[in-house]
Each structure stands twice: as C-alpha cells, then as structure tokens.
Amino acid sequence: MDKLIITAALTGAEVTREQQPALPLTPDEIARAAEECAQAGASIVHVHARRPDGTPTQDKAIYAEIIEKIRARCDVIVQVSTGGAVGMTAAERLAPVELRPEMATLSMGSVNFGDDVFLNHPADMAAFLAAMKEFRVRPEFEIFDAGMLHSLQRWLKQGVVDGPVHVDLVLGVPGAMAGTPESLMFLRSQLPPEATWTVAGIGAAQLPLAAMAIALGGHVRVGFEDNVWYRKGELATSNAQLVARVARIAGEMERPVATPDEAREILGIMR
Ligand code: KMH
Ligand code: ZN
C-alpha cells in the first residue's frame, strides 16, 4: 500500500467566518494554515481564494500571492480549485491554472449542490483539461456522483486522458452521492485501473470515510471546505487539527503519511 496522502482543503468557496471563526481567508492566513497543515502531515493543500471582504474569487493575482506565501513558508503541493464558486464562468474558474501550480481540480460533471446547481458543461471540462495539459498541471478529477466516474472512463477510453488518473471522491454534498460507506465502496469498484483516489467526506462523513480510505489504500482529504466540526457540537479549532487526527489514526493503522516528495512520486508529478 502507498503511503497516505493527506490533502487539506483549507478554505473553500462557501464556508463563512460565522460558521467557522478559524477559517483562513486572506493570503497570509491561508499560507499560515497551509504551513500548520504541512507540519501536521498534509502533503497537498487545496486552495480557494477570497476577496478582502471574504467573497470567493478566482482572481489570478490573489492566487499568485497565496502560492508565493505558501512557498515561502513550507514545501507542500498546491492544488488550486477550478471549481471556484457556483455561478462563476468557466473562464473565470480557469484563471489560476495559468500560474502553473502543481495540481488543479477538474470536476467531471454537473450536480445539484445544496440549493444551487454546480454546472460543468462538457465543453468547459474539455477546455479545463486542455489548459491543464498546456500548463503541465496534474488534474485531480472531482467525482460527486457515479456518472462522473463513467465520464472519466469515457475520456480514458477515447484517449482524451492518459492514465493513471487521480480522483477525489466527494461524498455527502446535498444533491449528490451520500457520504456513506456504501457509496465509497461502489465508487471504488468503478475506478479505472491503476487510479489513485482520495475521499472528501462532507460534514459528519469526513471522519468515517477517512478511516475507510486509510484501510482501503486510498488517500484522505479533510479541512474546513468540507467540514467545520471536530466532533458533534464542537467546532474544530484549525484545519491542522483535522489533519493531525487523520495522521494519528493512520499511524495507529500502520499506514505512514507521505511527505510532499513522496506524494509527488505516488501521483506522478514532475517538479
Ligand atoms: N465550490 C464548489 C461549487 C473544486 O474546488 O474543484 C466547487 C468546488 C470544487 O469547490
Ligand atoms: Zn474546492
């Protein structure tokens, strides 16, 4: 089994300071959170940018500042979001890819997202993939529903994408696949050959799905984007607190945590 890659999804586009007082919003806060998470065992940070007023943005300059500040503090793989926030245009969402980060997300289809719709037109998905090829950015394919995994299988069959792919199984978004062990086992059974996978459980699903992924040879994403709680009724104090718990569980389960360089090797990322 490969060493465990922990991704810290630090900020997201939807969570507010009212919901999570320790949410990192500014480039300095995001960089500090990234460093704390790297020290706690994360080898990837999934990054969303916010404007000074806290609203989500895909502004390239803000992403550039975040990446620069993270790099000044620690070695960790920076994965920018191309999901952005519901309602953004595809061009807007794609902007941070031009900064040539090591990784970026690529959502494999459209899905209801709470009271909204997260739209991913096939033509936009193809444009995102082309840009990631052009700027040599390793995609993490975001899978919210079973059909999205089948779309990825089609891309592989058509030769649009070369394997092995890396996927993130996002489970528990209201409107998408439930955050249950059964969902995870089903999606895992549908993975393309040699795919690496991580699981992002939303809310209360974060911890049990993380434990399952550790046991099954997958990887784990935690952080405020997906879950603001440490346990029922108790908010987490930082993203790093959530990372540290996963690292501790993995240690007890004899699954060592990957360094950023080991994660690059597992994911086939060339520096
Ligand atoms: N904010 C969601 C609508 C991603 O980062 O790639 C989409 C999202 C996915 O967060
Ligand atoms: Zn995201």
Looking at ligand 1, which atom is closest to the CA of residue 113? 3
C-alpha of residue 252 to centroid of ligand 1, in Å: 31
The pTM for the full model equals 0.98
- Whether the predicted pLDDT of 80 surpasses 90: yes
CA distances in angstroms from 164 to 126, 140, 141, 175, 230, listed in the order given: 18, 11, 12, 29, 34
Give the burial class of 59: count Cβ atoms within 10 A of its Cβ; 0-12 exposed, 13-18 middle, 19 or more buried.
Answer: middle
- Return the domain boundaries, the chain: 6-267
> Contact 172/179 with Cβ under 8 angstroms?
yes
216-256 pLDDT, tens digit each: 999 999 999 999 999 999 999 999 999 999 999 999 999 99
> Contact 137/102 with Cβ under 8 angstroms?
yes
Class of domain 6-267: alpha beta
Which of 10, 107, 141 is the pocket-test mutation for ligand 1 (most atoms within 8 Å of CB)?
107
152-204 pLDDT, tens digit each: 999 999 999 998 999 999 999 999 999 999 999 999 999 998 999 999 999 99
ipTM score of complex: 0.99
Which listed ligand is nearest to 15 at the C-alpha? Answer: 1
The DSSP letter of residue 3 is P
For 110, half-sphere exposure in the C-beta direction (CA atoms, 13 angstrom radius) is: 11
What are the backbone angles phi and psi of residue 213, rounded to the nearest 5°? -65, -40
The residues, any chain, with a CB within 8 Å of residue 53's CB and separated by 6 or more, are: none
pLDDT of residue 270: 85
Which of 58, 63, 142 is the pocket-test mutation for ligand 1 (most atoms within 8 Å of CB)?
142
Looking at ligand 1, which atom is closest to the CA of residue 107? 6
Is the CB of residue 82 below 6 angstroms from any atom belonging to ligand 1? yes
